Amino acid sequence: MNLKEYYLYYLSLHKNKKCRLLHFLGQIITLVFTIFILINWYWYLIPLIPFVIYPFAWSGHYFFEKNKPAAFKSPLKAKLSDWMMFRDILMGKIKIW
């Protein structure tokens, strides 16, 4: 499955607006965390960056979608799809409220 096909599958796991909102908030906090690390030179925290979103995303899946996160099956494609969905939300292609 190529990334475009995977992204369509990924979106099928994110139909609930509250789940998508939690993913979006998690990505914003990931960006803020990354900027904080870079500004303050806390280089030892860099390995944590990819994991900041998970409490938000997994809460959305557990409480609203009632499914398993895509990260369990294909972590790299799921991470890329997280950012693709974030982009699509910013561009207004996907609604979160």
Helix%, strand%, coil% for the chain, nearest 5: 75, 0, 25
Q: What is the pTM of this model?
A: 0.93
pLDDT higher than 90, residue 65: yes
Amino acid at the residue 55: P
Q: Is the pLDDT of residue 72 over 90?
A: no
Rg (CA), the chain: 14
Are 97 and 45 contacting, i.e. CB atoms less than 8 angstroms apart?
Answer: no
- Would you say 50 and 79 are in contact if contact means Cβ atoms under 8 Å apart? yes
pLDDT tens digit string along 2-52? Answer: 999 999 999 999 999 999 999 999 999 999 999 999 999 999 999 999 999
**Longest Cα pair distance anywhere in the chain, in angstroms?**
40
Q: What is the mean pLDDT of the segment spanning 52-74?
A: 95
